[in-house]
């Protein structure tokens, strides 16, 4: 069993990285080489801007290359409940932005010729308990009534067998716009597209210094050099590297863990997931799964509330995920697990993204599990913001306050995990 990401293991390394470290000047310096930074670099370079991107490790090597391979529209949260919190108008605006995110990924894949197995397979959100299906129906009714997403469709339990080969669930809702793809190949394709347009992409260049010179002009320093940029975009997620303390106090790194089986026969996959959907359930300790291009089954989820991802921690979570997978699909009890890995999700308090400007720095982060589509969308959108052609009013939720009692070490995660595990038992 390989203890690293399937996506990164099965994609060739990015070969067009700039050598050494940054130097000279740039119109824009981007800190972070995930989907946000790469899509911003591509969009800005297409506008003719000189762009330097600084990545601490390899491009798309953190959350962007360690996720579940889903490019889903819709929220992880209950749409009806979120509408009551945000108001129906703002919830609808955000929902449509998530739709636009999937569209943006598809357009980039098509325009740049990125061979990453992009497919609009649809997402099926399945109810782990009968009462969860009641909530799903309530959200569906509001989505249709408002005209926000009339394409969504309820799947009652009596019809669920056509979608997934298990009797663990009590119905669900289909989001036909959702897609999946190979995340490693997509990340590499984004980086190559930006580099083709003269963006300078530096890997293995963690930022060690960030000094404001005037207005939005900053000097950005790594161990291998420095660059003076007229504008800076932070696209770092939950990175613990660099002088980013203000942002670290506003996002909690929560582990997400994934396993992938040995290749299965087409006949077996046809039993387990006949329509090859992205499938995710309604638990707080969420489980999700999808088929991979080489007929493996990917199975992921929270497993444990942990702020660590290393081989030992990932292996513990992988054992829990295997048990969950076998509960859903008993016929996989003797199936070999070929990959087990983890990554960190940057969770905000309300589990929705944040973007804006602070002290002359632009930022976009906090995708809270919606990263593939929203990171791509927000990277391109922030290119318009930096160019003075867009505003972020659709994301406005007031001041982004620090999380009380949190200073970068999430000491409270075990207690949060215990609470959510209890909630999963009683609700």
Q: What is the domain-level CATH number for residue 409?
A: 3.50.50.60
Q: Does 344 map to a domain? A: yes
Q: Does 101 map to a domain? A: yes
Q: Does 422 map to a domain? A: no
Nearest in space to 239 (alpha carbons), one of 425, 62, 421: 62
Q: How many CA atoms lie within 13 A of 16 on its CB side?
A: 16
pLDDT at residue 85 tops 80: yes
In the prediction, which pLDDT does 426 show? 63
Contact criterion met (CB below 8 Å) for 370 and 75:
yes
Helix (H) or strand (E) holding 102: helix 88-112
- pLDDT, one tens digit per residue, over 44-67 is 999 999 999 999 999 999 999 999
Instruction: Check the CA dihedral 377-379-380-385 and report its sign.
Output: positive
Q: Specify the range with the lowest mean pLDDT, choosing from 234-248, 274-288, 370-384.
A: 234-248
Pairing of strands 70-71, 51-54: unpaired
Report the alpha-carbon angle 5-190-70, nearest 5: 50
**What's the pLDDT band for 268 if we cut at 50, 70, 90?**
very high
Return d(Cα 148, Cα 124) in angstroms, integer: 18
* pTM: predicted TM-score of the whole model, two decimal places: 0.94
- pLDDT, one tens digit per residue, over 354-380 is 999 999 999 999 988 777 999 999 999
The mean pLDDT of 382-392, rounded to a whole number, is: 95
pLDDT at residue 305 tops 70: no
Backbone φ, ψ for residue 291 (5° rounding): -85, 150
328 lies in which domain range?
6-414
Q: Does 167 map to a domain? A: yes
Number of domains in the chain: 1
The mean pLDDT of 72-96, rounded to a whole number, is: 91
Contact criterion met (CB below 8 Å) for 375 and 277:
no
- Beta-carbon contacts of residue 66 (< 8 Å; ≥ 6 apart): 5, 7, 8, 256, 258, 309, 341, 342, 343
In the prediction, which pLDDT does 417 show? 65
Nearest in space to 185 (alpha carbons), one of 421, 404, 6: 6
Backbone φ, ψ for residue 230 (5° rounding): -70, -30
Q: Does 426 map to a domain? A: no
Q: Does 104 map to a domain? A: yes
Q: Does 205 map to a domain? A: yes
Answer with the residue of higher pLDDT: 327 or 401.
Answer: 327
């Amino acid at each position: 069993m390989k203890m690293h990401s399937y996506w990164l293991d099965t994609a060739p390394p990015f070969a067009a990285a700039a050598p050494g470290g940054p130097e000279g000047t740039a119109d824009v310096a981007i800190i972070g080489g995930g989907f946000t930074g790469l899509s911003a670099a591509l969009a800005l370079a297409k506008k003719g801007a000189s762009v330097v991107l600084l990545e601490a490790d390899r491009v798309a090597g953190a959350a962007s290359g360690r996720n579940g391979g889903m490019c889903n529209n819709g929220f992880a949260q209950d749409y009806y409940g979120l509408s009551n919190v945000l108001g129906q108008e703002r919830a609808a605006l955000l929902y449509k932005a998530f739709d636009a995110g999937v569209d943006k990924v598809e357009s980039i894949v098509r325009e740049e010729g990125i061979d990453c197995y992009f497919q609009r397979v649809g997402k099926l959100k399945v109810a782990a308990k009968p009462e969860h299906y009641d909530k799903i129906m309530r959200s569906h009714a509001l989505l249709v009534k408002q005209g926000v997403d009339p394409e969504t469709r309820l799947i009652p339990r009596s019809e669920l067998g056509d979608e997934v080969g298990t009797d663990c669930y009590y119905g669900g809702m289909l989001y036909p716009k959702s897609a999946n793809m190979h995340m490693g190949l997509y990340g590499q394709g984004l980086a190559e597209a930006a580099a083709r347009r003269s963006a300078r992409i530096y890997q293995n260049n963690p930022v060690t210094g960030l000094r404001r010179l005037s207005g939005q002009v900053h000097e950005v320093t790594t161990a291998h050099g420095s660059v003076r940029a007229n504008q800076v975009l932070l696209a770092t997620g939950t990175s613990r590297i660099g002088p980013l303390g203000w942002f670290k106090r506003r996002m909690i790194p929560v582990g997400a863990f994934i396993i992938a089986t040995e290749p299965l026969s087409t006949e077996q996959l046809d039993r387990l997931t006949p329509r090859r959907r992205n499938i995710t359930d309604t638990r707080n300790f969420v489980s999700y799964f999808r088929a991979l291009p080489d007929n493996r089954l990917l199975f992921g989820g929270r497993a444990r509330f942990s702020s660590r991802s290393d081989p030992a921690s990932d292996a513990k979570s992988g054992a829990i995920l295997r048990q969950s997978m076998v509960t859903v699909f008993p016929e996989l009890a003797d199936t070999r697990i070929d990959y087990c890995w983890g990554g960190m999700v940057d969770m905000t308090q309300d589990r929705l993204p944040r973007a804006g400007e602070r002290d002359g720095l632009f930022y976009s982060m906090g995708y809270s599990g919606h990263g593939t589509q929203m990171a791509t969308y927000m990277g391109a959108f922030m290119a318009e913001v930096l160019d003075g052609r867009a505003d972020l009013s659709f994301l406005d939720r007031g001041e982004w306050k620090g999380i009380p009692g949190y200073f970068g070490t999430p000491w409270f995660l075990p207690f949060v995990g215990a609470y959510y595990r209890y909630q999963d038992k009683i609700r």
